[in-house]
Structures are given as structure tokens and as C-alpha cells.
A and B are shown apart, each in its own frame.
Chain A
Amino acid sequence: MFTTVVGDAKQVGAHTSAWIQRTLGNGLRTLILPMPSVPVAAVAVVYGVGMRSEPPGRAGFAHLFEHLMFEGSRHVPSGGHGRLIQEVGGVFNGTTHADRTVFHQVVPTHGVERALFLEADRMAAPALNADNLERQQAVVREEITSKVHGHPFGGFPQAQLRDAMFDRFANAHDGMGTLADVKAATVTQARDFFDEFYSPGNAVLAVVGDIEPDDVDQWSDHYFGPIPARPTSPSPVLDEPDLGSRGRADITDTRAPCTALAIGWRVPDPHADLRGHIAHIVLAEMLGGEMGRLMSPLMANGLVSGLTAGVSLTDQELTAFDPTGMVVTAYLMPGVEPDHVLEVVHREIEQLAGSGPSDAELSRTKMLRRTRHYDQAGHAGHVAIAAATGLIVHDDPALPGALPDLIDAVTTEDIADAAATLTPERQTTCVLAP
């Protein structure tokens, strides 16, 4: 029965092999995946630049620049991008992550050519001037205030854990930025940032949905082809030694309605040790998923009111370079000591490291993790972004879609080995209390 279930993934399985990949003369890589049963189309452009590309003193610049990309371009006025996508009923968004910046739109199929034109126009020449910069500085500062300062648990736990776990500015700083750094940004800096990081050779275009590949190829050539090639800067230097535990950071947040605890561990580099990295993804589900080992002793026993675990220190799974990490986050019930929760976490991890999971437990965990993947695979936008990210981060557009197969290959021994690395000696904790 179990193998039949995996074999049932017919449409989704196709994602792993059916990508049509090309490279234009200017270095832009394009990916196309027809999904005829989806009545819409997604156009995504992912640039190989993110928060970890920011130099010291420029915290938040990558995010600010992402906003500037909506302020118009050679043929499009400020705000015109959104207006033209909305005119066809489409949705659009930009998001800035650790190692990538994502622009995407989902449109009815008759809007695909327009979306490609808009992405090409701003890849060629975004309108980088003082007015636009000033406007987006105000918007971003408002965003920082409302998401970080105005919100209980603002940025918790990733921002606080990264700060505690890493020394290198690129890894440690909060890419949401500071009000001061965002205010200090200049137009010259924006132009330099564009020249350095937003070249066609540093980007991937992905188009997914009810589309004709020949049409998309023709439009890609027409709109993106004339953008001149230019050198792209090397990826930022991110590596720093895994020094083990960085102790415990205590943070006060007067708005927080309860105490929250986050535990972070470094995980294997997905490039050097993909199998070990994937084992940590499954292990996180086995600890903090709805069937997770921590659920009964922590949730059912009334020690915590909320619990999550994931390989999510820098970005979502398989979307960031090394270093990244696994994070367990718990929201504590009144009167519960963080050390008590830590004890339970250590005990459960030690048991897994000692005797591993049972076959049945591993099967169930994999099943739950796979179904979450399948569910996202129904969204054309998600599929396009995942594949373009796969090409940027792993040089393989099919890797994100292959996650179910990668998960399936994980053994009980892999889980025990992964659990054995999650020791108190390697962990960093953050306690946020009101």
C-alpha cells in the first residue's frame, strides 16, 4: 500500500523531470513547466542576492531595493507594475530572503506576456532616483515599525537566534534592517547594488501553468534577450566555523503575552551533505510535527501552548546556502521554567539518538512531510519560485520538487545520526520574556 501511495504522485512527480531549461545569450536562465490542469500561470524571477549580501552599515538594503523594483522602470511609471498586473486580475509580490530575492506574479493565462514584459523592463532599467528612494524608505521604515517594533515576538526567533549563533555580519544581522540604516541609504548605493547583483546572469526566470512553451520562449527572447550581459559579483562569503554552543541570550519584550524559548543548532551544508541535511528536515517533523515526539510531553502535559520545529534558521527548507540551522520554538505556559522544557527536549532527542525511530514512526513522519509538499505543489506560484530558487541555490531546478523522493530515502539510522548532533554542547538558546 505504501509504495502505491508514492506512485500515485503522478502529476507532482512530473515536476522533477519536465522542466524545460535554457540560457539566453546574456546569461539569464529560463525554466518552463506546463501544468495544463491549473487554469492560471505564474511568472517568477529570482535573483541570487539577499540579506546576506548586505555589507555592515547597510542592514535592510536588500529588502529596500526589492521595494524599489516596484517604483517603475524604463517604460513603466512608479506604481505601474502593480497596476498593470492588477488590471488582468493578477497578484504580485516581492520577498527578500537570506540568499535570494523573489519577484512573482500569478495571472490568468492571457496576462503572461505582460508579466514577462514587466519583469524584463525592470531587469533592464529600474527607476532609481531620489523620489522613489525616499518613498520606499518611508514604506520600509513603516514595515519595520509594524512588524518588529509594534508586534509581540517581533522577528522571533530567527533574528534573535542568528544574532546569537553567528559572528559574521552577513549571517548574524537582521535583514529586516534598522531604521537608521534604511534612512541612510542613497541613490548611488542603489545603482551600485543594481549593477552588482541584478544582472541577467544572476537571475532565473520560471514560468509555470497553462502555457505554451514555444510562446514563452519567444516572449523571453523578445523582452529579456536585448538586456546586455554584465559581470556578476561572486556569491558573498558566508562560511564560519561551527563553534558549538553560544550559550543563552535573554531578551525582554514587554508586549509578549508569555515567555518563548528558541533552541538553535547548525545543520549539515546541503551542498556537501544533502543526505544529512534532509535527515534533519525529517527529524524536525519527527520532533515538532503534529505526531512529533515533543507534542505529548510538552503540549499534552501542559508545559507549552505552541511548538514548532524546522530547518528554518535562515530561510525555508532548501532555499539557502550554508550556514543554516534547525530551530525548535516553544511558547511556555505561565510558571513553566525554560530549563524544564529544555530538559524534555534533550531527553527526547537523546532517545532518538540512542535507539532511532521505529519503522512505523519514520513512515508516518515521511508521509506527513510529503503530503505537505504535495499540497504546496498545487500552487503554480510556489512551483515556479521553488524551481528558480533550486537553480540559484543548488544549481538544480528539480531539487525542490524532488523533496518527497529525498525524504523517502532517509533511514532510521540517518535520523539517529542527525539526532546525535543535536546536543546541549552544540545548541544556542534564546529566551524571550515579558
Chain B
Amino acid sequence: MTTPPVASGTIPPLGPLQPPRLPEHASYRLASGLTISAVRQAVTPMTHIRLRLPSTGVPVAAGLLLAQWMFRPDRLVDGVPFAERAADCGARFAATVDVDNIQVTAHCLDSRLRDTLQLLAAVLVDPTLVTTATEQDLAGVAHMSRIAKSRPGLLSLEALNAAAYGTHPYGLPSPDAAQIMATTIDDVEALRETTLRPGGASLAVVGDHDPALLAKLVDSTFSDWSGASEHVGVPSVPDAFTDALRWHHIPGAVRTSIRMALRVPRRTSNSYAALKVANLILGGYFSSRLNAELRELRGLCYSVRSAFAHTRAGAVILISAEVDSQRITEGLSALREVLSDMNDSPITPEEHAHARRYAVGAQQLAQATHAELSDWAVELAQEGADLGWLRHHALDLADVDLAAAREAAERYFVPMHTATGIAGDREAETDNG
């Protein structure tokens, strides 16, 4: 299962591990209810901006259209097309929607942050957002949805969500073409009214800016923006799944996508660091048991991995594998066997030491760029934490002992507590004997 040790004496020793370094940062809460995370970093002359606007449970088609149209290149801002205004700041804007949020992702030149924030503020308060949208625009988004829904990766995830969450908002699939075509401009406009609001929203800005001055700049720039989002609350989700499984049949698919999820505690919980180490051993990196068993030993798939997914209602570990369609049954049982094996063959001291060293180093790597720091800042704000959590987490990871990692695996890696979604050719195995 693991590679043989390297001959001792030939591998150079590691240098001293540098303590975690965090850039200067501060958090603020404006009177409007907007949370700001300001981080000062100057690796490149670019500022990264993230804005999360809570949107759990909104109609999925209207949510997608709102995100698609927020930064339409041809919409006019003060009489000038948006795209021209953005380009003049060296800025790029995009909006996406997931089960929890509409998220704005943007970057601009440090020197044009003021203009870029003004442009963002103008978009957020502009009531004429979608009045220029046409039937043709709807058809364009519907077409995109059709293409997205041809991808087994998305279809298996949607099957998983249905199996795991049922009628909870998290269980709904992304909108299909018919839902999109049936959405009216008024629907999107109504959604804009209730979601693009500062109350409950989080803004993160990473660049070469003094945090206090940055907060003042945001406060003055967004002074016309007020009200609270109506979509902050999230219905609770079960503490464990119940071995439910859903199929999406794709006739003739050579590869079949399997997505399997386990409910786990969130980042701010005491057991999170231990669980993170345990997940690495399960499928979180190349030296994992899933990779050794499914890819290296059995050749069932090119890629298999397990990773955390964090939502407002709680976290899951998501296992992803793309297997040969003629070996789906073997693939599924191999996944379950590896999960059981995390308890039947407890984590070894070598596995623990290796995974913990990896976790500590990988954490340093994951916070090196402006983009990564801004992703962290907005993600942590959603959990009620700030960038300082990264420092605590680094120390927590270094402290995870073997017993804690074993306990986390035993408690959470239970095959009966999974939910599974599969997209692929359901008949490939029977067709070929």
C-alpha cells in the first residue's frame, strides 16, 4: 500500500520549518451589516476582491441569471459600457452562484482600487440591472446549462445532492434549460432586490493597501448601499447521511462518475484538524489509501480523491472517482472497502506522521497568492472567523496525534453514513457480461 522507504542517509535533511507567516490583516463591520476583511500583501501589483452575498434557497434559475447578468459587458454604467469601465481599471469581474451564495470574484491594479470599488458599488445599487436582457440572452444561458448538464461530473454531483439532501435547498439540481427559459426578467429583478444587500454579506480585499484606510474607502464608496439579504438563514441538514444512492443514466458513457459524501464537523470545530489529517490518509493526497487501492493497485480509475466541501449548513467530505463503466460495481465496493478499512486497519504511525507533515506544509502553500488569501478571507468570514484562524489551524495541525486521527476516522468514515450519486452507463456491465 505504501512505497518502500528510501535508503537512509541519501535524502538530505529538511531545513527548519518556518513558522506560519500571515500578512497584516483586519476585519471590520460597517453599519450596513457588511463585513470587511482587509489583507495587506504586495507580491504583485494586483488587488483581489471577493464579495459573498447569501442566497440559500433562492429560485435556482433566477439565481443563475442574476449572476450571469450582473457584470454584462454591455450594460451601461454612467452611460459607458461596463466592460470599458472595468478595462480602464485593469479589472475583471465575474459572478457565480452556488447553494449558499452569489459570489463576486474580481481583481484590478492596486492603483485603480478606488475606481474599481466605485464600479462594483454602482452595479450593486443599480435597479436597471436586467432591463436590457432579452429572450436571446435567456436562450444563451439555457444553452450553457445544456452543455454543463452533458458533463458526468456535474450530473453525478446533482444525483448525490438529491440522495443526500432530498427536498432541502441543497438537494436541488442546477437549473435546466426549460427552467431558465420560463424565468422572467421580473423574477430576476425581484431576486436582485432581496439578495444584493450588504446585511449578511462579506467583502474581502487583498492588495497593497493599509487595512484601516481600506475600510474607510469601502465605507465611503458603498454609502448608498443598504438593507439586509433575505436569504441568510439555512435550514439544518442531517448529522449523518443514510446510505442513499441515486443514478443518472448516460447511455454509452465510457467513464462513470461516482460522488460519495460523508457529513463532518465544520472548520471551527475542535476535531477539524484531526479530521483533516485522517482525510489525507483516506483520499486527500497522492499517498492516500484510495489512490493506492483504486488507481495504483486495481487500475480502476485515473483519478480518485476526497476533499472537504464547506457550506453554511455544515461540511462534508466528498469522494470523487471516475471509473471504467464496465467496473462500476467493483469501483463502488472498493470505495466502501477503503472507508471501512480506515477503521479495520487503523491509521499507522507512519501514515499519521506523513499526513501531518504534509498538512502543515500544504497549509503554507495554500495561502501564498493574493487570490488564495482573498478566497480564505471570504470563506472564513462566512464561518464567523477571520484570517487569524489560519495561524491557529497551523498550530492545531502540528498537534494532531495518532489517537486523535484514528478517532476522527472511526467516528466519521462509516460506509453506512454515506450518500452517493453516480452518472454513467448503468447497463455497461450487464451488456458486456
Contacts and interface: CB of A to CB of B under 8 A. Distances in A.
B74 to A, nearest CB: 6
Contacts, number: 203
A296 B111 contact: no
B150 A89 contact: no
A87 B139 CA distance: 50
A159 interface: no
B213 interface: no
Contacts of B140: 299, 302, 305, 333
Interface string A330-357: 0101100000000000000000000000
Nearest to B367: A39
B88 A367 contact: yes
Nearest to B17: A110
Contact of B361 (A38, A90, A305): A90
Interface in B346-367: 354, 357-365, 367
A240 interface: no
Contacts of A114: 11-12, 14
A334 B181 CA distance: 15
Given A40-B368, A146-B302, A150-B254, A5 B357 contact: no
A208 to B, nearest CB: 12
Given A11-B43, A111-B14, A39 B368 contact: yes
Interface in B245-266: 252-255
Given A255-B150, A364-B87, A12 B44 contact: yes
Contact of A143 (B88, B252, B302): B302
Nearest to B71: A290
A82 B44 contact: no
Given A11-B42, A291-B73, A375-B107, A86 B285 contact: yes
Interface residues of B, number: 74
Interface residues of A, number: 77
Contacts of B432: none
B254 A370 contact: no
A374 B112 CA distance: 14
A118 to B, nearest CB: 9
Given A305-B147, A374-B44, A39 B12 contact: no
A163 interface: no
Contact of A76 (B6, B14, B41, B143): B6
B129 to A, nearest CB: 16
B146 interface: yes
A248 interface: no
Contacts of A300: 73-74
Contact of A367 (B3, B90, B252): B90
B384 interface: no
Nearest to A289: B87
A77 B3 contact: yes
Contact of A146 (B18, B137, B255, B370): B255
B37 to A, nearest CB: 19
A254 B88 CA distance: 43
Interface in A376-418: 377-380
Nearest to A375: B46
Given A89-B363, A146-B322, A374 B46 contact: yes
B21 A39 contact: yes
Contacts of B41: 37
A364 B83 CA distance: 10
Contact of A86 (B88, B254, B358, B367): B358
Contacts of B73: 290-291, 295-296, 300
Interface in A100-145: 106-114, 117, 138-139, 142-143, 145
Interface string A44-83: 0000000000000000000000000000000111111011
A371 to B, nearest CB: 4
Contacts of A334: 143
A258 B322 CA distance: 23
A305 B144 contact: yes
Contact of B139 (A4, A8, A112, A302): A302
Contact of B365 (A37, A89, A364): A89
Interface string A261-299: 000000000000000000000000000001100011001
Contacts of A301: 136
A171 to B, nearest CB: 28
B287 A83 contact: yes
A433 interface: no
A219 B365 CA distance: 22
B92 interface: yes
Interface string B392-406: 000000000000000
Contacts of A83: 2-3, 286-287, 354
A9 interface: yes
B31 to A, nearest CB: 33
B44 A375 contact: yes
B45 interface: yes
Nearest to A382: B369
Contacts of B233: none
25 contacts: A11-B43, A12-B44, A35-B43, A38-B368, A39-B367, A39-B368, A40-B364, A83-B287, A86-B286, A88-B14, A88-B361, A89-B357, A108-B365, A110-B17, A111-B15, A138-B299, A139-B302, A150-B254, A290-B73, A296-B74, A333-B140, A364-B88, A371-B91, A377-B44, A379-B368
Interface of B: 2-7, 10-18, 21, 41-46, 73-74, 83-84, 87-88, 90-92, 107-112, 136-137, 139-140, 143-144, 146-147, 150-151, 252-255, 285-287, 296, 299, 301-302, 322, 354, 357-365, 367-371
